[in-house]
Structure 1
Amino acid sequence: MDNIALGQIVHSRAGRDKGRYFIVVGIIDENYVLLADGDLRKIESPKKKKIKHLVFHDKFAVDIVEKIKTNQRITNADLKKTLQSMGLL
């Protein structure tokens, strides 16, 4: 749980979304996080996923983290733009 943070870039290693990249938009508990990518998984209905099915990267979506901290609205376009700028979508 210590190495998980909001805005962190992850990719799925299990399930039908295997290999897709997401941004952590919520932390439920020590086993689950909420993920969104603005494309397959919208911010309005983030994917609840087990941590053990994810690979965590050292990259962060800094603009998304700032919006979460300041309670600004995050759009699907923001998520897609961030992942595309990193070459992950």
Structure 2
Amino acid sequence: MDVTDAERRPRPGQVVRVLRGREAGRYAVVIDEDPPHFVLLVDGDKRKFGDAKKKNIKHIQPTNYIAREVTESLQKEGRVSNAKIRYVLNQYLLRLEQKKGE
């Protein structure tokens, strides 16, 4: 991924899959950008909102799913609850499992 390509950068509220590091294979939600090479990730469980993981965008795989609830909450309140993050990830994973089953 070319880090200068702005339209391909993960956006706040987008679900991503972690490819490298201790949390490889897990899914997380982007809550903020730290240009030019990093984003802040949370999963609502191990990585809570107050303790977000700073991750290089080369080490994540963005999905096509952007959680509208998370994006709206970040814009209005500047934060999002850990319960909402967990709910969004669970809904995404359920959709993923349903697609595999078809």
* Fold match by TM threshold 0.5: yes
Deviation at 1:80, TM superposition (A): 0.3
Which deviations, in whole Å up to 9, do the C-alpha atoms of 1:35-58 show, x marking residues without a partner?
Answer: 001011000110000000000111
TM-score (norm: length of structure 2): 0.81
Match of 1:2 among 7, 16, 22: 7
Alpha-carbon separation, structure 1, partners of 2:86 and 2:61: 19
1:87 aligns with 2:93: yes
1:54 aligns with 2:57: no
Deviation at 1:71, TM superposition (A): 2.0
Q: Give structure 1 regions of 4+ aligned residues with deviation exceeding 4 angstroms.
A: none
Count of aligned positions:
88
Partner SS state of residue 57, structure 1: strand
Deviation at 1:63, TM superposition (A): 0.2
Structure in which a larger fraction of residues adopt helix? 2
Q: Residue 32 of structure 1 corresponds to which residue in structure 2?
A: 38
Q: Sort the Cα spacing of 1:52 and 1:74 in 2 relative to 1 into closer, same or farther, 3 A.
A: same
Q: Alpha carbon RMSD of aligned pairs, Å?
A: 1.3
TM-score (norm: length of structure 1): 0.92
Structure having the higher Rg: 2
Matches within 5 A, 1:58-73: 58-71=64-77, 73=79
Deviation at 1:72, TM superposition (A): 5.2
Q: Which runs of 5+ in 1 are unaligned?
A: none
Supply the AA of the counterpart residue of 2:54: K
Q: Which runs of 5+ in 2 are unaligned?
A: 1-5, 95-102
